Structure 1
Amino acid sequence: MTAAPGTPQPGTPGQDQPGRTIAVVHAGLGQPSSTRLLADRLAEATVRELAALGQPATVETIELRDHAHAVIDAMLTGFPTGDLARDIQTITRADAVIAVSPLFTTTYSGLFKSFLDILDKDALTGMPVLLGATGGTPRHSLALEYSMRPLFTYLRADVVTTSVFAATDDWAQAGGHEHDGGTALPERIDRAGRTLAAVVADRRQRTGPPDPFATTPSFLDLLGGD
């Protein structure tokens, strides 16, 4: 996991308050990869928009390729360990998640889905999530809506309305010109960052999923001890 400057908490600008945390999860397989590049650009746009709202932010980037074996182990044993467990905790305690996957045969990657499968069923409940995907051709862009969005909706995440798909040609466009009648990639990234930042800025800071044992009385209380 890598960190970058970034995110705050809502409130009056200038007050001394803890910053926001944006967890970026991507399933890019190469180094470098266009999936990581899109994830970074989305994070930068979100942080920039939060800063404009007077809220500093921190970005924590999680590369799933580094956890590939650990993810399979967690599926077999039923629980994650080590660095994978720590990164999952980072996600559940974040103020928002940016999730980006390459598309293979018109859907998200197996590694991306396997990672989501080992999360607690309530880990992303109410979590603001911005979706992104990369692929070879713009024809696959709808996979964000018929494949990725329903997946996060099932997990009860608060998926923002704007998502970003980047085809191979999008990265090659000189000067960010429009492609096939659509909006240029930099503009789509900026719009997505504004959308996520607005949602994050309007919310209280998360502390992770509620502790199911938080209200359980201690044995000392049950015995009436001091």
Structure 2
Amino acid sequence: MATRTLVTVSAGLSTPSSTRLLADRLTAAAARSLEERGEDVEIRTVELREVAHDIVNAMTTRVPTGELRPVLEDLSRADAVIAVTPVFNASYSGLFKSFFDVVDPEDLDGRPVLIGATGGTPRHSLVLEHALRPMFAHTRSVVAPTGVYAASEDWGAGEGGGRELSARIDRAGRQLAMLVDERVPGAGDPYEEPTPFADLMSGLGG
């Protein structure tokens, strides 16, 4: 059985960061669900702050260099992508958007993607729906139904003690695993190379 590769993209800027923490938990949940299905899993985690200069260079030259090149190669071969950003000004961070601006959209076409975001207040939870989901819809990715937003209070404070966040993470991980299992690697668009009209008509001759 082929190994399933998960590429996790974290746009956190601090060390440690809640964005990386959420990314790691989403990755663990997805990997666990795949392993329960009998799959082997390989994980590649990318901290965007570590390749920030290369991202800027690629935006201005359109040529990926340095550590960014292997990151993009890994992304193009991934069976699924987990993408997590902090919320800046009620949207994804500039670093997060810049990275996906230099990713070839064809590399995300049909790719299962799990989206996540972190912020200081629950008020920004809709960032998943008004910013991240439309961005990945534009690249024709297959986005898991459950996205996970984690505010500061979700990490264990309050009556829920973090249980609600854990439940969302587990559900999102299961959904991503299902999408990975359903995906046929390398399957092309059946309408991309249609049968020529002349060939269709050739069988109609008397």
Q: TM-score, normalised by structure 1?
A: 0.79
Matched, 1:64 2:48: yes
Matched, 1:19 2:6: no
| Alignment-derived partner of residue 190 in structure 1 | 170
The gaps in structure 1 that reach 5 residues or longer are 1-16, 208-226
Q: Please, which of 151, 154, 162 is the counterpart of residue 135 of structure 2?
A: 151
Once residues 47 and 204 of structure 1 are traced to their aligned partners in structure 2, the CA distance between those partners, rounded to angstroms, is 18
Amino acid aligned to 2:175? T
**1:40/1:124 Cα in 2 relative to 1: closer, same or farther (>3 Å)?**
same
User: How do 1:12-161 residues align onto structure 2 when only pairs under 5 Å count?
Assistant: 17-161=1-145
The gaps in structure 2 that reach 5 residues or longer are 188-206
The structural deviation recorded for 1:203 is 2.3
**Equivalent position SS for 2:6:** strand
Task: Summarize deviations over 1:23-58 as a string: whole Å, max 9, x none.
Answer: 000100001100000000000000111111111211
- Structure having the higher helix fraction is 2
| Alignment-derived partner of residue 203 in structure 1 | 183
Amino acid aligned to 1:190? D
| Alignment-derived partner of residue 224 in structure 1 | none
Amino acid aligned to 2:13? L
Once residues 166 and 14 of structure 2 are traced to their aligned partners in structure 1, the CA distance between those partners, rounded to angstroms, is 22
Once residues 176 and 83 of structure 1 are traced to their aligned partners in structure 2, the CA distance between those partners, rounded to angstroms, is 41
Give the alignment's Cα RMSD to 1 decimal. Answer: 1.6
Amino acid aligned to 2:135? L
**Equivalent position SS for 2:60:** helix
Percentage of identical aligned residues: 51
Contact kept? 1:93, 1:206, Cα under 8 Å: no
Contact kept? 1:64, 1:111, Cα under 8 Å: yes
The structural deviation recorded for 1:79 is 1.1
Once residues 112 and 94 of structure 1 are traced to their aligned partners in structure 2, the CA distance between those partners, rounded to angstroms, is 18
Once residues 43 and 186 of structure 2 are traced to their aligned partners in structure 1, the CA distance between those partners, rounded to angstroms, is 15
Give the length in aligned residue pairs.
187
Amino acid aligned to 1:22? L
Contact kept? 1:129, 1:157, Cα under 8 Å: yes
**Equivalent position SS for 2:105:** coil
